[in-house]
Structure 1
Amino acid sequence: MTQTAGRRTLGSPGLEVSALGLGCMGMSQAYGAADRSESLATLHRALDTGTTFLDTADVYGSGHNEELVGEAIAGRRDEVQLATKFSLTHADGGMRIDGRPENVLACAEASLRRLGVDVIDLYYQHRVDPQVPIEDTVGAMAELVTAGKVRHLGLSEASAESLRRAAAVHPITALQSEWSLWTRDLETPGADGGPSVLEVARELGIGIVPFSPLGRGFLTGAIRSPEDFGADDFRRGHPRFTGDAFTANLRLVDAVRALAGEKGVAPGQLALAWVLAQGSDVVPIPGTKRRAYLDENTAALAVELSAADLARLAEIAPPGVAEGGRYVNASYSYGDSPTR
């Protein structure tokens, strides 16, 4: 019998979502070729099994991903908690950030059209624009809430300072940042010894939405060689998947696999269970474009970790354990956040 997703609440005032979300980016870019029919079938299966928190962005596939998600949820809008993002566009040599108020409004209208909906449940600024005061950006986002086009606001990969400044303008429901057994920067104290981004988010009542909770697929244990990636998979040249870093990170994965074997679960399920165990305010969004992997991920909800399991994982994967940078292109590590 297929595991069914439970429910968790993000932020205050809260947005109730499925305890595990679905990251949809890979259906349109980055992780090799996607099969449209299988992607749609995966989205439908997610809804059928209670994974109703869907995450997309206007930059994924330059709008293609929002259109795909919109097609999948047509006729089922009331079942879905729909999250999308704005502020990034593809540019020569990297990405461009635009947090200007006029861009906020224009992007929201375009996303609503592509998604085929009247309202977005959770609207994120994808990256903080260092050239635009965050108060101005969030102020424009708040206008969307007043207009009934957006229900809740979020930030992606924001610093502790940006969270505080944004929350002073309008309640922030969720922070989306990378968080997994091999990326634990969210927990790192500030450069001045102050609180971590995670601590500030919790102080402000902001829910946590970890992306790449499976270490971009590495923590599933299925990747054994850099040659496992297709020519169009961005991980082929990723700093963590090449050279000496790959070898070092593989040792981490093998340790996770060993513990997973003892518990009789898949390595990826153990890795997801660890993220889920970090708090009831945490809702990871593992990405997949295949039903089989969706089912495997959802089954992680049934994995129980003892205090001893968590202690072993803390030894296996302490903060800073992964070798290599987080992005292939340094231009992706932009904005104001020390977690990038």
Structure 2
Amino acid sequence: MEGQGKTQMIPRVKLGTQGLEVSKLGYGCMGLTGVYNSPVSDEVGISIIKDAFNKGITFFDTSDVYGPRTNEILVGKALKELPREKIQLATKFGIVKLDQTGLMINGRPEYVRACCEESLKRLGVDYIDLYYQHRIDKTVPIEETVGELKKLVEEGKVRYIGLSEASSDTIRRAHAVHPITAVQMEWSLWTREIEEEIVPLCRELGIGIVPYSPLGRGFFGGRGVTESVPTNSFLVSHPRFTGENLEKNKTLYVRLENLAMKHHCAPSQLALAWILHQGDDVVPIPGTTKIKNLDDNIGSLKVKLTKEDLEEISNVVREEEVTGSRTSSQFEKAGWKYANTPPKDINSSA
């Protein structure tokens, strides 16, 4: 199979203390089926995933809501051309995309199981390495949701459990039912809320941290600054990428760009290196549809930073200077619906 015998260029790290080992840099697959750009063809998507693997990335992240569902199908096709035993596959459940009526969160035990079964089929695998609850259902006690996830672990369908965008109280309660291996949160130079409570708690409990959007949804790669935001991207309505907010935020990019010259790297590489240096238990999952960007992301592993460097980088992009909410306005307007009022076809939305 392709990829076998290739030299691993990326260090391996323990994600959490439960035994999961992954590449220090992961790959977020969401963008392959749209959201930030137009979807790529299956052929292109598969080739990017295979290229990432051949360059040492073994940790791949998807979700049933991406597409919806088409992202898992694409990842499943790529997996057929790679050695499954060398891949750490993460997917998620819990967000249901409703026609014209926004999004719903569902953490009911029966839904957890239905989603897992459907994801296994779409991915074409016998087990999921890391299964996340994508968002927390406030109408269902976390103990019930994780209790069902625990059963899936015992049955061998899931190896490790994760949570995404969870509060510290939820993480602690969930961990008491079954060890949580990883928590996925938005974390980048301009989104740093998790540093006060979530990061210390994860380290107390031995939980790995998986930052999504580690490049600020592409901002520190130049999106909205050196390149325009595509008209079909959800970023056209994102508070940080629109109007005066974007103009003010551009000054942060220029500062980082100037500092990157000192380190002989691209601004995106410096931003990603900053995240990579936050700890061995931190594994970011940047996504891209371009091989050049993939190579740049991998190249960030070669950027070595001292404690003083990290402080300097933090100081050029101060959180209090970032203009605009981190949450897309379309989500804020739609709001979240919960599983206490599910649509009739809820199980078919897995």
Query: TM-score normalised to the size of structure 1?
Result: 0.92
SS at match of 1:272: helix
Aligned position for 2:59:
53
Residue 318 of structure 1 and its aligned partner are, at CA, apart by: 2.9
2:340 matched residue in structure 1: none
Q: Distance in 1 between matches of 2:283 and 2:95?
A: 23
One-letter code of the match for 1:199? P
Answer yes or no: is the 8 Å Cα contact 2:208–2:281 preserved in 1: yes
Per mean C-alpha deviation after superposition, the further-off stretch among 283-292 and 137-146 is 283-292
Quote the residue 1:31 is aligned against. Answer: 36
Q: In 1, Cα distance between the equivalents of 2:179 and 2:264?
A: 42
Residue 254 (structure 1) aligns with: 254
Distance 2:193 2:329 in 1: 18
Task: Label 1:73 to 1:34 Cα distance change in 2 as closer, same or farther (>3 A).
Answer: same
Distance 1:12 1:332, change over 3 A: farther
Moved more, 53-62 or 304-313: 304-313
| Larger mean Cα displacement after TM superposition, 168-177 or 319-328 | 319-328
Q: CA RMSD in A?
A: 1.8
Q: Which moved more, 1:120-129 or 1:261-270?
A: 261-270
Matched position secondary structure for 2:13? strand
Say whether the 8 Å CA contact 2:90–2:129 is kept in structure 1. Answer: yes
Matched, 1:83 2:84: no
Alpha-carbon distance in structure 1 between the residues aligned to 2:222 and 2:93: 33
Three-state SS of the structure 2 residue aligned to 1:38 is helix
CA deviation profile, 1:72-109 (whole Å, cap 9, x unmatched):
01142112100000000112342100000000000000
From 122, 146, 171, the equivalent of 2:154 is 146
Q: Which residue of 1 aligns with 2:130?
A: 122
Match of 2:303 in 1: 303
Partner of 1:192: none
Following superposition, the deviation at residue 29 of structure 1 comes to 2.2
Counterpart of 1:29, as a letter, is G
1:181/1:319 CA distance change after superposition, 3 Å: same
Change (3 A) 1:287 1:32: same
Contact 1:47–1:79 under 8 Å retained in 2? no
- Please name the residue that 1:239 is paired with: 239
- The one-letter code of the counterpart of 1:257 is E
Q: Which runs of 4+ in 1 moved over 4 A?
A: 331-335
Find the aligned partners of 1:319 and 1:146 in 2 and give their Cα distance. Answer: 42
Give runs of aligned pairs for residues 161-180 of structure 1, distance below 5 A.
Answer: 161-180=169-188
Cα contact 1:43–1:72 (8 A) shared by 2? yes
CA distance in structure 2 between the aligned counterparts of 1:257 and 1:109, rounded to whole angstroms: 46
Q: Which amino acid aligns with 1:40?
A: I
Larger CA deviation: 44-53 vs 305-314: 305-314
Q: Which runs of 5+ in 2 are unaligned?
A: 1-6, 338-350
**Compared with structure 1, are the counterparts of its residues 4 and 328 closer, same or farther at alpha carbon in structure 2 (3 Å cutoff)?**
farther
Counterpart of 1:40? Answer: 46
Deviation at 1:332, TM superposition (A): 7.6
Q: CA deviation at 1:156?
A: 0.2
TM-score, normalised with respect to structure 2: 0.90
**Could you say what secondary structure the match of 1:42 adopts?**
helix
Determine the C-alpha separation between the residues in 2 that align with 1:172 and 1:109: 20
Mark the CA change 1:323 to 1:3 in structure 2 (over 3 Å): closer, same or farther. Answer: farther
Q: Is 1:18 matched up with 2:19?
A: no
User: Deviation string for 1:249-282 (max 9, x for gaps)?
Assistant: 1111111111101111011100000001000000
